Homo-oligomer: A and B are copies of this chain.
């Protein structure tokens, strides 16, 4: 089977079963960040492992220092390429519990949407790929070898899995890395994610007086950590919004004219943006559109800053300490280790006399990357997506980071193809997460057609 009508027929005939299996998957409260849920997470992994076996996969749990990952392999035709499907079975916490219209782990189909924690992120999107693989395999039409790696720590940052990738090289080697954990653009056109930004993070701590000092008795004499952290943070940007950290922006791999054009064909609409966020899209570097800034340029973001008094009225102190949380988003080409070093060196060099600085928690996530919109895999995915919608496929260079993607691409030797069918309406990470059955169906059709094309 290779054609859209064949997959549509298969989906509509199989949907009742797909839905009941998807519900089984959703009933596990596999919240990875809550230690008391670790038995539930493992039960979910075991269920998934058995489910893969039932589909004909050779499957097993891969242990990590945290929760296990589920590995499976279903052999295809000799000489055909190998596809590695990456996804995760863990989900976000559910609080506030009271805000859910139906219990988060008792999935319900209402008005064409499945409501449950994980309905979309990522159980729903994993499920439609697996059902497409199964459909192809049962029809004897699966040409590529399909490997899966469904991990259990994505919502915690994947660090346990990242540590294992080297030792799993033989298990994950592939030609194509298929990731279905992303959204479409706002208008709903099927969307190829053509890049992600990398990430580094630093916790900064400035230490000053041994205890809070009276600001009258010491103001203008004792160095003030609250003032220092503000000056340090302010020094990271020029007045016009460029990054002012020496060396940080070296080695950026600039987009081609074609890439800029594609990115700008789905511009950020200022009115829409302000409606959604409450602010206009006016920050960052001059000379780039918002879509270009998100897709092709780094940013240094202040996630938090804390020092001294924050209650009602005034308290006349010079605080003893101050702290800030900073993340850097990296464009393709920037080396995370080098960027982090530049950032910390910049801050260290500017600590006012009499104060000390430390970086209690800092580290690199992964590098950013851009994919070639004209690579054979991207073209193949685009041809498939063009069949699914009367809207031409969109190309999106994401501002966000999925650190494991570049690590997995490197360890597996595979070329990533990132297509997902989420949307803002799914409210992932929030109460009443849901996924439209129509989107689940689109995902199934995309995965089936894409795999059938290999």
Residues of B within 8 A of A325 (CB): 308-310, 314-315
In the bound complex, do residue A211 and residue B278 qualify as a contact, i.e. CB atoms below 8 Å apart?
yes
Q: List chain B residues, Cβ under 8 A from A355.
A: 279
CA distance A286 to B429 in the complex (A): 52
Q: Given that A215-B329, A219-B327, A294-B221 are contacting pairs, would A354 and B303 also be in contact in the complex, using a CB cutoff of 8 Å?
A: no
Q: Is the CB of A233 within 8 A of B237?
A: no
The closest CB in chain B to the CB of A315 belongs to: B303
Q: Which residues of B contact A268 (CB under 8 A)?
A: 221
B293 touches A221 (CB 8 A): yes
Q: Known A-B contacts: A220-B299, A234-B234, A305-B307. Give 16 more (CB < 8 A).
A: A201-B316, A209-B277, A215-B301, A215-B303, A219-B284, A220-B329, A221-B294, A222-B279, A226-B303, A226-B304, A230-B230, A280-B354, A282-B354, A283-B352, A304-B317, A314-B325
Contact B308 A302 (CB under 8 A): yes
Contacts of A309 in B (CB 8 A): 303-304, 325
Chain B: CB-nearest residue to A183 = B217
Partner of A279 from the list B209, B226, B284, B315 (CB cut-off 8 Å) is B209
Q: Tell me the A residues contacting B by CB distance below 8 Å.
A: 197, 199, 201, 203, 208-211, 213-224, 226-227, 229-237, 268, 273, 277-285, 290, 293-294, 297-310, 312-320, 322-325, 327, 329, 352-355, 361, 398-401
Interface centre among A273, A301, A325 (most CB of B within 10 A): A301
Chain B residue with the shortest CB-CB distance to A226: B302
Q: For the complex, give the distance between the alpha carbons of A224 and B301 in Å.
A: 8
With both chains docked as a complex, state the minimum distance between the C-beta of A129 and any C-beta of chain B, in angstroms.
Answer: 24
Across-interface contacts of A307 in B (CB, < 8 A):
302, 304-306
Select one of B203, B229, B303 contacting A318, CB under 8 A.
B303
Q: Is the CB of A310 within 8 A of B322?
A: no
> A303 contacts which of B306, B319, B361 (Cβ < 8 Å)?
B319
Measured between beta carbons, the chain B residues less than 8 angstroms from A301 are 215, 219-220, 224, 227, 316, 318
Complex interface: chain B residues within 8 A of A282 (CB): 223, 353-354
Contact indicator B197/A305 (Cβ below 8 Å): no
Residues of B within 8 A of A303 (CB): 215, 226, 308-309, 314-319
Residue among B222, B230, B304 making CB contact with A310, cutoff 8 Å: B304
C-alpha spacing A81/B282, complex, angstroms: 67
Closest CB-CB distance, A368 to chain B, in whole Å? 10
In the complex, what distance in Å separates the CA atom of A217 from the CA atom of B396? 12
Verify B216–A398 contact, CB threshold 8 A. Answer: yes
Known contacts A230-B234, A310-B306, A310-B325; A216/B278 CB under 8 A: no
23 contacts between A and B (CB under 8 A): A199-B316, A203-B314, A209-B278, A215-B301, A216-B329, A217-B294, A218-B399, A219-B299, A220-B294, A220-B299, A221-B294, A222-B277, A222-B279, A227-B233, A227-B301, A227-B302, A234-B235, A280-B354, A303-B308, A303-B319, A306-B306, A312-B361, A313-B361
A429 to chain B: closest residue by CB: B214
**Chain B residues whose CB sits within 8 angstroms of the CB of A398 once the complex forms:** 216-217
- Residue ID in chain B nearest A307 by CB atoms: B305
Inside 8 A of A210's CB, which chain B residues have their CB? 277-279
